[in-house]
């Protein structure tokens, strides 16, 4: 028994040492699941920012809809999101300021190799029409995230009612990779951002069951931007740190590092700060 107690104490002590000391300056950020799931934040941005400025980033990965809401409530200091139309609403309200474009990737429609609706190489609008006509299963995130907002806008752009209760339209209410997993199990189509798709491919050792079928259309462009919480709205918001973070993200060295961040030899995001 004594030995168990002893090993338990050792375990706790190790754990204690493993937790780094609380940094004096911390920045709270709400971001999308795509930046978190691909490892961009954990493996590159958070450690490098800490090294360069001594500021620690604590990030919460949620959908863009929730991230913006958190900023409005004053629960975070800065957001890193990808839904320009929704961002504009909050900028107009005066809740968020300093919107800075940082990087982009693109959305793709993926599906099983057999391609039951025959959408390969089509434009997004035609592809969605074909899927609906064939009633081929389509998995949607259905969580009001940036990706979900984009998907809804594509249905609208294809002059169609956004599906909701249709049996072939599956709304998972989960993050991107979970949704891709659902699509894979059901042999369904889904829409995802390129970065998450590469990460998913890497999980499947570079040979994923779902392939990219529709890509390259200008409407599939996916812009990521950072926005700071307006200190006039929330006096607790750490605006100076947020400003420093946005400037750091936009500087050439960081932009280059983002471009060099690759999985399976493919870049996940392309920097485009001005």
Closest contact distance (angstroms) between CB of 160 and another protein is: 29
Instruction: Kindly tell me which residue out of 6, 8, 162, 219 binds another protein, with binding defined by CB under 8 A.
Output: 8
Closest contact distance (angstroms) between CB of 141 and another protein is: 12
Nearer CB in complex with another protein: 72/244:
72
What count of Cα atoms within 13 Å lies in the side-chain half-sphere of residue 241?
21
236 binds another protein (CB under 8 A): yes
Each residue 48-87 as x (binds another protein by CB under 8 A) or -, in order, gives: ----------xxxx-----------xxx------------
Q: How far apart are CA 274 and CA 261, in angstroms?
A: 19
The region of 106-114, 135-143, 148-156, 199-207 touching another protein under the rule CB under 8 A is 199-207
Q: Give the residue carrying structure tokens 């969580």.
A: 143
Work out whether strand 96-112 and strand 78-81 pair parallel, antiparallel, or are unpaired: unpaired
The region of 93-101, 111-119, 150-158, 178-186 touching another protein under the rule CB under 8 A is 178-186
98 binds another protein (CB under 8 A): no
Work out whether strand 169-171 and strand 138-140 pair parallel, antiparallel, or are unpaired: parallel
Burial environment of residue 9 by CB neighbours within 10 A (0 to 12, 13 to 18, 19 or more): exposed
| Nearest C-alpha neighbor of 112 from the set 169, 188, 215, 179 | 188
Instruction: Kindly tell me which residue out of 107, 189, 200, 239 binds another protein, with binding defined by CB under 8 A.
Output: 200
Contact 225, 90 (CB under 8 A): no
- Measuring CA to CA, how many Å separate 59 from each of 31, 32, 76, 79, 221? 7, 10, 9, 9, 25
1 binds another protein (CB under 8 A): yes
136 binds another protein (CB under 8 A): no
Residues that bind another protein (CB under 8 A): 1, 4-5, 8, 11-12, 14-16, 18-20, 28, 33, 37, 42, 46, 58-61, 73-75, 174-175, 177-178, 180-181, 199-200, 203, 234, 236
């Amino acid at each position: 028994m004594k030995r168990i107690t002893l090993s338990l104490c050792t375990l706790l002590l190790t754990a204690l040492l493993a937790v780094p000391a609380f940094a004096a300056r911390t920045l709270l950020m709400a971001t999308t699941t795509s930046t978190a799931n691909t490892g961009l934040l954990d493996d590159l941005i958070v450690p490098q920012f800490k090294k360069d400025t001594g500021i620690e980033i604590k990030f919460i990965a949620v959908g863009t809809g929730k991230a913006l809401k958190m900023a409005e409530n004053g629960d975070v200091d800065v957001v890193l999101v990808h839904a320009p139309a929704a961002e504009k609403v909050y900028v107009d309200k005066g809740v968020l300021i300093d919107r800075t474009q940082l990087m982009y990737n693109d959305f793709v429609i993926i599906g099983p190799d057999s391609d039951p609706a025959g959408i390969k190489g089509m434009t997004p609008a035609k592809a969605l029409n074909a899927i609906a006509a064939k009633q081929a299963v389509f998995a949607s995130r259905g969580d009001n995230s940036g990706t979900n907002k984009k998907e809804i806008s594509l249905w609208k752009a294809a002059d169609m009612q956004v599906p909701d209760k249709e049996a072939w339209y599956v709304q998972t209410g989960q993050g991107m990779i979970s949704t891709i997993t659902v699509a894979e199990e059901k042999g369904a189509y889904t829409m995802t951002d390129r970065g998450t798709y590469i990460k998913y491919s890497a999980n499947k050792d570079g040979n994923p069951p779902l392939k990219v079928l529709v890509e390259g259309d200008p409407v599939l462009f996916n812009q990521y931007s950072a926005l700071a919480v307006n200190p006039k709205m929330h006096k607790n918001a750490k605006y100076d740190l947020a400003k420093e973070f946005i400037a750091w993200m936009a500087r050439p060295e960081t932009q280059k590092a983002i471009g060099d961040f690759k999985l399976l030899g493919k870049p996940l995001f392309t920097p485009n700060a001005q």
